[in-house]
Amino acid sequence: MPKEVTHGSIHVDRICSKKPDRDATCEPGRKDKTKAKKRYLKAKKDRRKKRKSTTAPVSKNATEGVEGGEEEEDEDEEMSDAESAADEPPPPPKPEHRPKKRRKVEVDVPETQNTHSEADVHIPEATGQEAAAVVSEKPDPQPTTPNALPSFPAPTRPDAPSRATLALQGLDKALIQADLIEPTRVISINVESSDDATGLSPRMKKRLGELNVTELFAVQTAVIPLLLSEPKQWQLYLPYNTPRDLCVSAPTGSGKTLAYVVPIVEVLSSRTVTRLRALVVLPTRDLVLQVRETFEAVGKGRGLRIGTATGQHSFAHEQTQLVADRSPGTTETTTKEQGVLDIVMEKFTMPASLTEHMLVCGSSQKPLMLFYLVHERGVKNALVFTKSAESTNRLVKLFEFFESTWMSQGGEYQPMTVQAYSSELGASDRKSILERFKKQDINILVCSDLISRGIDISHVSHVVSYDAPVDMRKYVHRVGRTARAGRAGDAWTLVEEQEARYFKNMLKSADHMNAVKRLRISEKDVESLVPAYEQSLEQLKEAYSR
């Protein structure tokens, strides 16, 4: 066998060396043609010549056709082999593995791929006519622009609606154009008469009398008769005849709680079917407890059961309290987040009996100013608001140091009892502290904004904002802890020099600047307090460095 072969023929050589039986078919030279085959080939050649002479000039496709013809010839040769095989002795038995796969190996792969890619990818080139057609599809040249364009009005920016206007959007007309009630209006509760303007049942009148409520305050005169007059006589509302929705805005301490507690107790007292019938949603847990106490006091002896949900117990427990209650009637109080209506109610009225003051001072002077208010201005039974639980604790410590030093220097003096009241305390501790404060065992309660909403402690005669409130709403809630139910009260705000402008602007924008008196305190005013103050500062420093 010749060994000088191309790369491709090396495979052939290997195949042949492995399969000696196939040598005859693998030989490059073929065996001699039979007569029949020669005849067949000659006839075929003639046919081809004939065909060539009649065919059109050669094109690419024609070339492919010729190649196809060669393939056809090979096939024909194989066919003729098969035909001639009939004349010849039968071939030796074929090996088990046909060389079909082997023949695949013979193919030079890169060459084949190239051939295919050329054959498959056929990108027709645009002829001259096609190019002309493309050009003719282009749009017509741009129309000529006119010399002068029409002028449009210059854009203007419309005024943005105010926050108050936005807040009122979509609200009922009744909410926007509310009925105004004269703050001095009261209705006396006449226990003897069964037909006075209050609309209350004799039983309720008696109970309110026991609670020292002898007249209805302004907000109550507007709400209670409205809720009790239709349908007459303290019955459950008929499902098709319920009272209208009611939205009330009234100053702090004006008696809003009784305005809804009294009608709820009156109406639910006539129920026969047990179910949850009233839901009261409040902003803080402490307020929930307070309102619950009011319900218990007013509804005493009516068989109503009041449940509370503040998130302090498991959901299942609170659910059982409220829904699976077996009592004849049920009321629920729960907490809520601030809602949209709070925004609408930005217009507020301060209690008429409240006096407001502000003191501008350096931040290091604030404790001294507080001690001045306590010792020179008679601030007692006071709530002192700070910005955080941490500053509450620090201020209480400093206050205690100051009181003991002051007493030791001043001789006969009853020191103030100061107590911290913050979110760091547990619920039971907070409750007992409030009780002691109500009994006046504690003179000054230093607290964060925890109790600034709704908490009602009647004897609070002063509110001191030791850290100035950050917004008007907070200010209103804080100062509203005093001057409640028509009593006199004083509110004091200590404003650091760098905060003064912000605080004043806040008051101005609420149209409240004139209501707050500015108090100026000279060095002489606090002179007597300074030695004890400096000593207490040293003590505090030591206590914190330990």
Binding site for ligand ATP (CB under 6 A): 213, 215-217, 220, 250, 252-258, 454, 456, 458, 480, 484-485
Q: Please state whether beta strands 418-421 and 304-309 pair in parallel, antiparallel, or not at all (unpaired).
A: unpaired
Minimum CB–partner distance for residue 382 and ligand ATP (Å) = 17
What is the C-alpha separation between 280 and 292, in angstroms, rounded? Answer: 10
User: Quick check: 259 and 356 in contact, CB under 8 A?
Assistant: no
DSSP string, 324-393: S--SSEEEEEEE----HHHHHTT-----TTEEEEEEEE-GGGHHHHHHHHHHHS---SEEEE-SSHHHHH
Check residue 93 and report its DSSP letter.
P
Minimum CB–partner distance for residue 181 and ligand ATP (Å) = 13
Minimum CB–partner distance for residue 540 and ligand ATP (Å) = 34
329 versus 454: smaller Cβ distance to ligand ATP: 454
193 versus 458: smaller Cβ distance to ligand ATP: 458
Output the CA–CA distances (angstroms, integers) from residue 178 to 140, 222, 251, 438, in the order listed.
68, 12, 15, 36
Triad 93, 99, 103: Cα angle to 5°: 150
212 versus 522: smaller Cβ distance to ligand ATP: 212
What is the C-alpha separation between 51 and 58, in angstroms, rounded? Answer: 13
367 versus 480: smaller Cβ distance to ligand ATP: 480
Minimum CB–partner distance for residue 507 and ligand ATP (Å) = 20
- Taking the CA atoms of residue 22, residue 23, residue 27 and residue 30 in that order, the dihedral angle to the nearest 10 degrees is -70
Minimum CB–partner distance for residue 480 and ligand ATP (Å) = 5
200 versus 526: smaller Cβ distance to ligand ATP: 200
Structure tokens at 525: 């005013």
291 versus 370: smaller Cβ distance to ligand ATP: 291
Minimum CB–partner distance for residue 486 and ligand ATP (Å) = 8
End-to-end CA distance of the chain: 106
Output the CA–CA distances (angstroms, integers) from residue 80 to 21, 37, 257, 322, 345, in the order listed.
22, 6, 115, 102, 107
Minimum CB–partner distance for residue 365 and ligand ATP (Å) = 31
Q: Which helix (H) or strand (E) holds 45?
A: helix 35-54
Minimum CB–partner distance for residue 495 and ligand ATP (Å) = 23
216 versus 370: smaller Cβ distance to ligand ATP: 216
User: Quick check: 328 and 271 in contact, CB under 8 A?
Assistant: yes
Surface-to-core class of residue 195, CB atoms within 10 Å of its CB (0-12 exposed, 13-18 middle, 19+ buried): exposed
Tally of CB atoms within 10 A around 452: 24
220 versus 365: smaller Cβ distance to ligand ATP: 220
360 versus 479: smaller Cβ distance to ligand ATP: 479
Tally of CB atoms within 10 A around 268: 20
Minimum CB–partner distance for residue 367 and ligand ATP (Å) = 28
The residue type of 208 is: L
Triad 536, 540, 543: Cα angle to 5°: 135
User: Quick check: 306 and 332 in contact, CB under 8 A?
Assistant: yes
Minimum CB–partner distance for residue 227 and ligand ATP (Å) = 15
18 versus 459: smaller Cβ distance to ligand ATP: 459
213 versus 398: smaller Cβ distance to ligand ATP: 213
Structure tokens at 12: 């052939």
How much of the chain is helix, strand and coil, in % rounded to 5?
50, 10, 40
How far is CA 395 from its chain centroid? 35
Minimum CB–partner distance for residue 319 and ligand ATP (Å) = 28
User: Quick check: 482 and 489 in contact, CB under 8 A?
Assistant: yes
Minimum CB–partner distance for residue 237 and ligand ATP (Å) = 23
